[in-house]
Amino acid sequence: MSVTEADVRRIAKLARLRLSDDEVSRYGGQLSKILEAMAELGALDTSGVPATSSVTGAVNEPRADEPRPFPDRERLLDNAPEREGPYFKVRKVLE
Partner 1 sequence: MTKYEMVVGLEVHCQLATRTKLFCGCGTDGYGETPNSRICPVCTAQPGSLPVLNAKAVELAFRAALALECRLNPVSVFARKNYFYPDLPKAYQISQYDKPFSEHGRLRLSEGGKTVGITRIHLEEDAGKLLHDLGALKIDGSLVDLNRAGVPLIEIVSEPDIRTGDEAHAYLAALKEVLQYVGASRCDMEKGEMRCDANVSVRPEGAQRFGTRAEIKNLNSFKNVKDAIDHEFHRQVAVVESGGRVVQETRLWDAAKGETRSMRSKEDAHDYRYFPDPDLPPLVADESLVARLKAEMPELPAARRARLTAQLGLTAYDAEVLTGDRALADFFETAAAAAPKGAAKTVANLLSTEMLARLNAESLPPSQAPIAPEHLGRLAGLVVAGTLSSKGAKDVFARMWQTRKDPVELVSELGLAQVSDDGALREWVRQAVASNPKAAADLKGGKDAAIGSLVGAVMKLSGGKANPAAVRGLIKEAVQS
**Which of residues 9, 10, 39, 47 is near partner 1 by CB under 8 A?**
10
Contact call for residue 89 and partner 1 (CB under 8 A): yes
Contact call for residue 58 and partner 1 (CB under 8 A): yes
Closest distance to partner 1 from the beta carbon of 82 (Å):
7
Q: Which helix (H) or strand (E) holds 84?
A: strand 83-84
16/22 with CB nearer partner 1: 16
Inter-helix orientation angle 5-14/21-42, to 10° = 100
22/72 with CB nearer partner 1: 72
75 to 39, 72, 89: CA distances (angstroms): 45, 6, 15
